[in-house]
Amino acid sequence: MPDTMNIRRISAACGAEVSGIDLTRAPSPGQVDVLQRALGENGILLFRDVGLTPEQHIAFSRNFGPLEAHVIGDFALPGHPEIFVVSNVKEDGKLKGAVYAGQYWHSDLSYMQKPSMGSLLLCHEMPEIGGDTMFANMFMAYETLSEPMKRFIGGLSAVHDYSHAYDTYFAHLKERPPLTAEARARTPPVEHPMVRAHPVTGRKALYVNPGFTKGIVGMPPEESRPILDLLFRHSVRPEFIYRHKWRVNDMIFWDNRSVTHYALADYDFSVRRHMHRTTIAGEATH
C-alpha cells in the first residue's frame, strides 16, 4: 500500500473517508486488503472527486468480488448491465433509471438467497439542496440491545421479500409500477438470521430492515410485527446514523452486511439527481 493512502473517520456512528488512491488505476492486492478491512470496520468508505467512467467504476468494483445485475433490467445503464441507474432524469419522456429508489431504510438485496456484500454508488448529478443519504450502523444497533433481546433474536430468522417494498413504499407511486410476475418469480421470499456475524471483523450485526423484512419465521404477523417494529425503530436511533451530503463525483462504498441506508426525498424533483451503482455479490447467511 502506498504511503499516500489515508483512511480517516468521518462520523462517530460509521464511515471513513479514503484519500490518496487513484481509482482509475488497478489497486494492488495490499490496497484491496486494506480497503476490505476498513469497510468491515467502518461500514462505509467515502471517496471524493473520483470522476470515473462506467468502465472504470465497474473495474474498480470487481476488485472486491463478482458483480450482479439488478432484478429490474430496465434500470440498468445501456451497455453496462452491472450498473444500476438511480435517477429522476427523463429523456424523451422516459426515466433514465430508478426514481424514488431507496427512500426507506433497507439493505441492498437482502431479499436474495445470497444478499449483496456491498454497493458502490457514484454521484453524477445532485441538487444543491437536499438528496442526502443516511446510513445506520447495525453493529451498534445490535450491541445496544438488552441481553434478553439479544438471546431472544439470536436463534431466530426473518423473512425478506422484495415485493414487500412494492406492496408498501411504492404502492402509490405511478412511476414505480407493480413488480411483474417474472420479477416476483425471480425474487421469492427468503429467510436470513436476524443476527449476522461479519466475516471480516467477527462483530455481530442486527440483520433486519423495514424495506424488505416482512416477518419472523415461525411467528404469526400479530406476534412478529411488534417485535420487528421495535427493532426497526431501535436500529435508526440518531446516534447510530451518518448523514452524507453528496457532492458530484463522490463515491460511497457501503457494506450491506453491517449498515442500512435511506435516500432522503427532501429535494425539488424537477432538479436532476443522477447516480450509478454497482453491486458486489455476497455469501449465504446460513
- Catalytic residue check, 261: yes
Q: How many Å apart are CA 121 and CA 79, to the nearest integer?
A: 18
Q: In a structure prediction context, what are the per-residue pLDDT tens digits for the chain, which is 286 residues long? A: 445 899 999 999 999 999 999 999 999 999 999 999 999 999 999 999 999 999 999 999 999 999 998 877 888 999 999 999 999 999 888 889 988 888 999 999 999 999 999 999 999 999 999 999 999 999 999 999 999 999 999 999 999 999 888 888 776 676 677 777 887 888 899 999 999 999 999 999 999 999 999 999 999 999 999 999 999 999 999 999 999 999 999 999 999 999 999 999 999 989 999 999 999 999 999 7
What are the φ/ψ torsions at residue 167 (nearest 5 degrees)? -80, -15
Greatest Cα pair distance, the chain, in angstroms, is 56
pTM for the predicted model, two decimal places: 0.94
- Catalytic residue check, 106: yes
Active-site residue (options: 106, 124, 160, 257): 106
Active-site residue (options: 57, 70, 108, 161): 108
Residues 6-280: name the CATH superfamily.
Clavaminate synthase-like (3.60.130.10)
Sheet holding 190-193, edge to edge: 190-193, 157-160, 213-216
End-to-end CA distance of the chain: 34
Active-site residue (options: 257, 261, 273, 276): 261
The DSSP-derived string for 91-159 is: ETTEESSBTTTT-S-B-TTTTSSS--SEEEEEEEE--SS---EEEEEHHHHHHTS-HHHHHHHHT-EEE
